[in-house]
Amino acid sequence: MNNYAKARAHTNIALVKYWGKRNSALKLPTTSSLSLTLDQFYTDTSVQFNETLTNDQVTFNERRLDEQSARRITDFLDLVRNQAGITTKAVVQTTNNVPTAAGLASSASGFAALAAAASKASGLRLNHRELSRLARRGSGSATRSIDGGFVEWHKGIGDRTSFATQVAPADYWDLNIIAILVNQQPKKMSSSEGMQLSQTTSPYYHEWEKLCQRDLKKLKIAIKNHNFNDLGTIAEENAMRMHALTLSATPDFCYFDADSLKAMRIVHQLRESGIPCYFTMDAGPNVKVLVEPEHRESVVSTLQTAFGPDNIIVAAPGPGVQYLT
């Protein structure tokens, strides 16, 4: 069946963050960013275009979404239809394997999977660059979930040049990313609002743009050299410098909660005790810990003791978009 496709995309975690748009409609970022796609967290999405439908029908985790809730998805389908030159409505079925409590962007895997499935079902034949540009229109971080392993999202100079490319595949480096699931209250400040506020009000924002450029360069060298301490240091510093933008915004805000502080303290203590591990954080209280396999067990057991065994998920570099049909 030509008008049907199903795809799986994995979420990713940025080591050099994306924190600001220079064009909201096109989701063009102020800086290039670099992420690692994660094997444990993914979204499966099928799209079936069907001439008999009068409206898009969207099911999310087996629950039918109303028009309002499905808006971001139907808007995205419009982009695909427009590009494919069709007007046919579709049935979209999405299953999310990204626990909300992990604080990982499910919109990254979600829009990457939707971009892959919808474009294929519509008859478009897009390569990874084109797919990443399309996914970008759904959610900025989705740009980086088309490819596996280490992925760079080039900020570009416009829509056509703002896409992602793979820096190194998932099997290039045996690393672990440990996600700590903490009880998450609904975010008071979405990442979209948060970056917008940081960008328009933090006096440090201009310096942030410059340092991301430097961090990206250094991170690519660290990846090339398999230098874990450099990779971890750059990632942790970059994350904290992003959070410094939230503190320094007007009004000031902070994504940390008590568990975040606890997790950061534990990582610092582990490092002082000679175990190389580093953390990163996004627009939420969750902390993710980077570690090499040789030290994984000691870090995992410390975190399990502190947060409970059920709240620790160990991930590794994951693959890019896969078609399931």
Beta-bridge partner residues of 277: 291
* Nearer Cβ to a second copy (38/197): 197
Number of residues that bind a second copy (CB under 8 A): 27
Q: How far is CA 119 from CA 86, 124, 165, 168, 303, in A?
A: 11, 5, 19, 25, 41
* Nearer Cβ to a second copy (128/268): 268
Verify binding: residue 203, a second copy, rule CB under 8 A.
yes
Verify binding: residue 27, a second copy, rule CB under 8 A.
no
* Nearer Cβ to a second copy (167/212): 212
CA angle 275, 105, 45 (to 5 degrees): 125
Q: Which long-range contacts (CB under 8 A, 24 or more apart) does 206-215 make?
A: 208/19, 208/20, 208/31, 208/241, 208/242, 208/245, 209/20, 209/30, 209/31, 211/238, 211/241, 212/16, 212/17, 212/31, 212/32, 212/33, 212/238, 213/31, 213/32, 215/16
Stretch binding a second copy (CB under 8 A), from 67-75, 84-92, 120-128, 198-206: 198-206
Pick from 3, 1, 29, 14: which is nearest to 288 by CA?
A: 14
Site string for a second copy, 204-223 (x = CB under 8 A): x-xx--xx------------
Verify binding: residue 187, a second copy, rule CB under 8 A.
no
* Nearer Cβ to a second copy (61/229): 229
Verify binding: residue 230, a second copy, rule CB under 8 A.
no
Site string for a second copy, 232-271 (x = CB under 8 A): -x--xx--xx-xxx-xx-xxx-x-xxx--xx-x---x---
CB of 194 closer than 8 Å to CB of 255: yes
Binding residues for a second copy, rule: CB under 8 A, are: 203-204, 206-207, 210-211, 233, 236-237, 240-241, 243-245, 247-248, 250-252, 254, 256-258, 261-262, 264, 268
